[in-house]
Structure 1
Amino acid sequence: MTDHLTPVEAPLRCSPDELRTLFLFEKLADDQLGWLCENGWIKIFEPGPVYTEGDPATCFYVLIEGTVALYRRVGPDDVETTRTSQAGVYAGAWRSYLGPNAPETYNNSMRAVTTSRFFVLDAPLFAQAMRDWFPMAVHLLEGLFYGIKSTNDAVNQRERLLALGSLSAGLTHELNNPASAAVRATAALRERVAGMRHKLSLIASGKKHPIVFEPLVALQEEAAALVAKAPTLTPIEASDAEDVIGEWLDEHEIPYAWDIAPTYVQAGIDVAWLEKVADTVPDGTLDGALKWLYYTVETELLMNEISDATTRISTLVGAAKQYSQLDRAPFQTVDVHELLDSTLTMLGAKFSGVTVVKEYDRTVPKIPGYPAELNQVWTNLIDNALDAMDGRGTLTIRTSADDDCLTVEIADSGPGIPAEIQGRIFEQFFTTKPVGEGTGLGLDISWRIVVNKHHGDLTVLSAPGDTRFRVRLPLAGPDQLAAMAAGSAEEVTIDSAADRAATS
């Protein structure tokens, strides 16, 4: 690991008087400064690594002089996040006083930009000093740290439950429609099968004109084949076709002509085929033959309806399973298009009046990540877009990739986000929705999932009629996959003289 890189000089003894000039130590007593110098040391680093992201967090560093920069790994690259020459800024294992719940590895990398001199203290000794010297402050910091964490967990869970409730209501509605259709079709099918049994019984008893079964069975097979490839007609085309068939049936004195004509049209049967039936069956049996064939085509249509309904139910269940990721590992490589499609399916009940355009680049590779949480991001962004359009407009979802990242863009044709609030939309609890309709957490959670957990980026471009949220996710290699899978704990940042409270 890089903590023990050979510096320009061997570890040097520090001076209590020099430490007292640093804002971090200026209020310490003489015996405390002496303890620091007895247990810590001075190290000088040439330009280059001081420590590396992912290594065990063993040391606490305070800059005495020089210039340093912090980096975070994004995909295959290290991206600079902070650069400073401020004496007294600190980095490394500064949260070790929080005990076993503190991050155990460096969550960023630090480099010396120029030859730089540091005061260095082993993490366990730093934790010991904090707890011995400032027990009340440590308890307060622990309470603040874990209190904020607990609060965030609670509000995040609340946001997830609200989203789950909305999705569940939509999914219930979407499932109810095909389920009801399947129930209705099954009941109608039972009636038609009973009618066919009755008709068969009459034919077999000879009480009606006998029908020659061999040509009739052949016509049944043809009718079933016609149903399988029946064209989809417009309402006007269907109405015209029903008139033609109804008139033909009337001319041949077929009872209930206008009741059965729509079914024949739906099945793709035309007058030419009915003429073929009339030429095939014996005289006096056309009525019975057409009724028998009517039962056949209606049975086929009902079975198609049941098949479509159950397929729709299966698709919805599959989308829910894909969306929730219940049977999958939390971290994996995923096809982002599968995640987007499952989210669109789950939100399908909200798309009335909205045109959905999918501009997918199917050549983009799979990405490493937490799919259930990415689905939460897509849900928040799409739901916001639908709210902005108020039931009318176009939702466009685009995917693309460059050398480093995959980009998902979710665009809507709504009124846009006012310029004066665009800088605040990712703030926690900030919302423009009326009281009771928005929590102000959706975009904050989305930002933290994308940026903190996936080392990506979430930005917005907005103008009236064109608002675009862009999510960039790293196309990480095997090493980055392992680092990401190990977890994305708190960010570790350099403090500054102007802002001495460490932030993450």
Structure 2
Amino acid sequence: MDILIVDDSKLNLNIAQDMLIENHIQCSIVLANSGEEAISILDKMHIDIVLLDIVMPGLSGVEVLKIIKSSDKYKNTNVIMLTSLRDKSILKQCFELGASDFINKPIDSTEFIARIKASIREIFYKESLEGAFKMVSSKNKKLSEANKTLRETQFYITQKEKIVAVGELAAGIAHELNTPLGYVSSNFEVFKKDIEKVKDIITMYHDLISQMNALGIENGDIKNAVDKIKNEEKSVHLDFVLEDLDGLIDESKDGVDKAAEIVRVLRNFAEIEFEPNIKLNDLNSIIEEVLLITSSEYKGKITVEKNFKDIPMVSCSRGMISQVLINIMTNAFQFVKISYLEKGGKVTIETSNDDKYVICRVVDNGPGIRPEIMNRIFNPFFTTKDVGEGTGLGLSVAYDIVVNKHNGQLVVENNKPSGAIFTVKLPFDYD
């Protein structure tokens, strides 16, 4: 406990100091002969209680009191006025300014010690209350953070369950589609072979008719039958049909193959992974699959340019890295469509490698990322989209997968003159 006694009378200073010592008040005592000296001492050291004479030359006690109570630095300092004045209006002014008590002069030992002890108790109570308040505030903050974490976790679990449900649904649909696609694909192979056989027979018929004409066979019935066949061939444009059949079959077969590829990719994507299933994978192949899945986001709307290098295989979880690239590319497509589509929306996907990493860069010419939110975009539940349009989990999940589950790097920066660049780096050696 530090007590400052301020009085222009050295006698009063000594009397007050002696009373504190004689009554065993546990404190450090500092003396000041003027208001100016008191302010100087308060600026240099911590003081708990100020015993302040009201009437002093220079700065009066009232003026010193105003200075003390006008600063937050001294907000916990108790000020007890020392006065021989009987003017209650002065005391009233002092209490209004923030004085906690007063002591009459000449100083009476019993009154003096009683008021000092009361002030000390007040300080202890105040400190105890502040400590309790800080503890309650700290606990309340922790509870609020725990509650927020609980809500976020609950939301995440809900989203996770939805992803699992979507994955199961996608896997079921893919399985159901795969069977008829298999039939159709197999039948096309048989159909193509059968058509070739039919074309061979038709060619043989044509050869036979040509030979008959060359031999001059004049049998009326045969001639009529041949003429009828020729007329029928003309009416159905048989030559054109036979020429077009190969193209139709090939195009149909390509369509079935593409549908089968979509189903294959869908089945791969439907295998939701919450823990890494690490295998050697071709990152270029993963990107191609992701572009197939997200094609509805950009086809006919955005130019997608691929600059793929011949990169080595990398150890990674195919499903998880697919999720990362889907989240990043979908964001790029959406922001380009919203803001820069009329200017020629473009997303460029580049792959390369250095001595340590296989690298994928997704570059768009959208609006870019505002500098003030650059360091927040990977935070869970942070989103710049309207309520109901985004969960704020996409980039957070991507960051967690790349950095925490693959020991890689996920970096974002703004592009010049506009747009953003997301760089995914996956290490060759996965530990």
TM-score (norm: length of structure 2)? 0.48
More helix by share: 2
Larger radius of gyration: 2
- Give me the TM-score of the superposition, normalised by structure 1: 0.42
